[in-house]
Structure 1
Amino acid sequence: MTSYLVNKEDVVNFLDNPNMKNQDGYMFAYVTSPEVLARLVPAPLKPVAPVIAGYITHMGNPTFAKPYDEAVLYSLVSYGGRMVGAYPFTLFLSGEGAEEAMLAGREGAAIPKKLADKISYTEANGSTHVVVTRHNVDLINLTFTPGIPNDPDIAKQLMGSQSALDTPTDTYSFFFDYKIDQDHDGHNHFINTRLIATKTTGTTHAFTPGNITMELGTSEDDPVSELTILKPIGGAHYQMTSGKMHETIQLAKVEPNEIAPYLITGRYDQAILGK
């Protein structure tokens, strides 16, 4: 029987070697405005291209939660001229294991995650239509059709490493970790702010490229269409047997007042601002 006091074995097993096994989903990329990325990507990270990429996928057998669906939009960025990876603006989760996955990601790696109403998949006429809905607003509408990507050359550059089948590939994602402290007058503020990177080793088992059509929506809590679509690059239907997060790298301390404006919208809804 479960107890509020766990044994030592459970402590050892807590979020141990988290692995997003048996993924089945769709990745995508599109050209966006350089000005938008310059405004929304915080220093010391730097965008490496005017591109937004992402995925919408079913996590079939995660080791830290029951199955769930996840969607993300991120910028390709560099740090210090030596590391390149993803800077996610927000992730949306839905399904039976969504709550546990959200908490594990936010508490384990400061990942900006929110619960969605639903993430739905519909197949028709050889294409797959995927919709991410939150607070009754369709935030991401993606249609994927197998075949030649919208821009084959750029798509190959962006997705080439993930198309290598049954070959473990390392990727990095950047996040800003923080704590919240409350003053004697009740004011909450961010402290212990720092840039971290997570290292993930993924193994792709199947990869089918294709073209995409895509629309973004916006609500008061989720300004997704701020990540402007200028031109679709392409996408792929992929399956991964493993996506193991096995290292968190401490990169740099950042000034709380400077990073605070970037920390709120991807993690919290507007009601938390107490207006």
Structure 2
Amino acid sequence: MQKQDVARLFTTPVDAPAYAPTRYQFTNREYLNIYYRTDPEVLRRLVPEPLTVTNPIVRFEIMRMPDVSGLGDYTEAGQLVSVEHEGEAGEFNLAMYVDSVPAISSGREYSAYPKKSGSPSLYVDSDTLVGTLDYGTLRVATATMGYKHHAMDLDEARDAICLPNFMIKTIPDYDGSLRVCDLVRTQITDVTIKSAFTGPARLELFAHVMAPLSDLPVVEIVSASHVVTDLTLNPVQPVYDYLAT
């Protein structure tokens, strides 16, 4: 392999890349979203400046993704916090638990998604949409929603999916210090809403030291949605450099 070829590597291993060098397109991406009110003081301790918490709302999501270019079939679960940045409303992506090594690798390396290994699932059980998340052998979240009780306005569903998403991007240097530490922003703009429904919902979170979803306790369920989409992810853009301060 020539020097110039090494410099063009997308990721490693050199003979079997950890993920495909493509823009990820999702077909029939299915969301279970449960919005709930939590303890605002806990949020303020977790959400990094310059983001601000104006409303103590958390979105617990499970995303079933059966058809993704370059990545195949996988499922994710996570928590996102309602925030503002310079007057713009958005969500801070706190954590994502994923059952696919290529999706974890690409999300962390190519972008800034805070992904780690977990075992989420999303399925219909009789008249109920059920989402679960296991970490190792232990259950850490169970979400239930009445299946397709009320049709949701498609524009409202699109607006929720297309909120700006903020994340922390870190890359360590060889001496253990940080080479990159940025607040980044991304936003879905290419999306087709295929169906959207609301209904009654419940969410249980269970304590786990390595998957601390329950540190953001459920005080009150605000709303829930079940949305099916086709969409394409956009790249992230840095909006704040923590190493420059």
- C-alpha displacement at 1:62, in angstroms? 1.1
Q: Deviations over 1:201-249 (max 9, x none)?
A: 232110011111111112221111001110011212211022x122322
Determine if contact 2:62/2:122 at 8 Å carries over to the other structure: no
Q: CA RMSD in A?
A: 3.0
Aligned to 2:166: 174
User: Relative to 1, partners in 2 of residues 1:47 and 1:19: Cα closer, same or farther, differing over 3 Å?
Assistant: farther
5+ residue gaps, structure 1, are 150-155, 259-275
- Conserved in 2, the CA contact under 8 Å of 1:148 and 1:211? no
Aligned mates of 1:191, 1:103 — CA distance in 2 = 19
Mapping for residues 1-275 of structure 1, pairs under 5 Å: 15-81=21-87, 83-94=88-99, 98-116=100-118, 118-146=119-147, 147=149, 161-163=155-157, 170-183=162-175, 188-201=176-189, 202-242=191-231, 244-255=232-243
SS at match of 2:61: strand
CA distance in 1, matches of 2:146, 2:185: 33
4+ runs deviating over 6 angstroms:
none
3-state SS of paired residue (2:42): helix
The structure-2 alpha-carbon separation of the partners of 1:124 and 1:110, relative to structure 1 and needing over 3 Å to count, comes to closer
**Contact 2:30/2:228, CA 8 A, preserved across alignment:** yes
Verify the 8 A CA contact 2:142 2:204 in the aligned structure 1.
yes
Contact 1:26 1:55 in 2 (8 A): yes
Give how far 1:182 is off.
Answer: 3.7
1:161 positional shift: 4.5
Structure 2 spans left out of the alignment, 5+ residues: 12-18
TM-score w.r.t. the length of structure 2 is 0.83
Match of 2:138, as an amino acid?
A: V
Cα distance in 2 for residues equivalent to 1:40 and 1:169: 23
Higher helix share: 1
> How many positions carry a matched residue from both structures?
231
Taking the aligned partners of 1:73 and 1:61, their CA distance within structure 2 comes to 23
Tell me the residue number matched to 1:262.
none
In structure 2, relative to structure 1, the CA distance for the partners of 1:100 and 1:52 (3 Å cut) is same
Q: Quick one: structure 1 residues 160 and 255, their matched pair in 2 at CA, closer, same or farther if it must change by over 3 Å?
A: farther
1:255, distance to aligned residue in structure 2 (A):
4.0
Query: C-alpha separation between the residues in 1 aligned to 2:227 and 2:50?
Result: 32
Q: Secondary structure at the match of 1:163?
A: helix
Q: Report percent identity of matched pairs.
A: 20
- TM-score normalised to the size of structure 1? 0.75
